[in-house]
Amino acid sequence: MKIPDEIRSAWDDREGPVVLTTVDNKGVPNSIYVLMFKLIGDTIAIADNYFDKTFNNIKSHSNACILFITNNRKSYQIKGTISYFDKGPEFDDMLQWASPKHPRKGVAYFQPDLFYNGQIQIN
Ligand SMILES: Cc1cc2nc3c(=O)[nH]c(=O)nc-3n(C[C@H](O)[C@H](O)[C@H](O)COP(=O)(O)O)c2cc1C
């Protein structure tokens, strides 16, 4: 899904860490902060340095959402799907942008489906 211009410019104005939520196979949600990520086309790639429950959830085909806030206090949510690479071109690319000060065990690729500014859906 193509990221709408409004979301793309809000992403450029985001402030602080981003919240990534996944869900386990019993429906229990789990949210983490992430700071090591890169927008690649319409995909948000997130370096896995310390994923634990998040890793297990991604491996059990969790849906996911990303929540962030802009520097003028607008909140944006992106719902989507997430997949995981611990080898191959996606992993090799992550090694180019993620700091070697962290373990860089793998990379999660978040593919957006739905976009919201607060409760308002953006198309
Ligand atoms: C500000 C902040 C930024 C973080 N950024 C990342 C990150 O980019 N990648 C990562 O793997 N963990 C990151 N972490 C750690 C995760 O938030 C989390 O603690 C870890 O995934 C283990 O939790 P889990 O069992 O819920 O997956 C960060 C933590 C904080 C507080």
The band of 41, judged by pLDDT with boundaries at 50, 70 and 90, is very high
For the question of whether the overall pTM of this predicted structure is more than 0.95, the answer is yes
Expressed in angstroms and rounded, the spacing between residue 31 Cα and the centre of ligand 1 is: 9
Q: Which residues pair with 47 in a beta bridge?
A: 107
In the numeric block, the tokens 């489906």 are attached to 113
Mutation choice for ligand 1 from 33, 55, 68, 109, CB with most ligand atoms inside 8 A: 33
Residue owning the nearest CA to atom 4 of ligand 1: 34
- Where do the domains of the chain lie? 5-122
Contacts of 109 (CB under 8 A, 6+ apart): 43, 44, 45, 82, 83, 84, 85, 90
Q: What are phi and psi of 43, to 5 degrees?
A: -115, 140
The band of 33, judged by pLDDT with boundaries at 50, 70 and 90, is very high
Strands (E), 1-123: 14-23, 29-34, 37-40, 43-48, 63-70, 75-85, 106-117, 120-122
5-122: what fold?
Pnp Oxidase; Chain A (2.30.110)
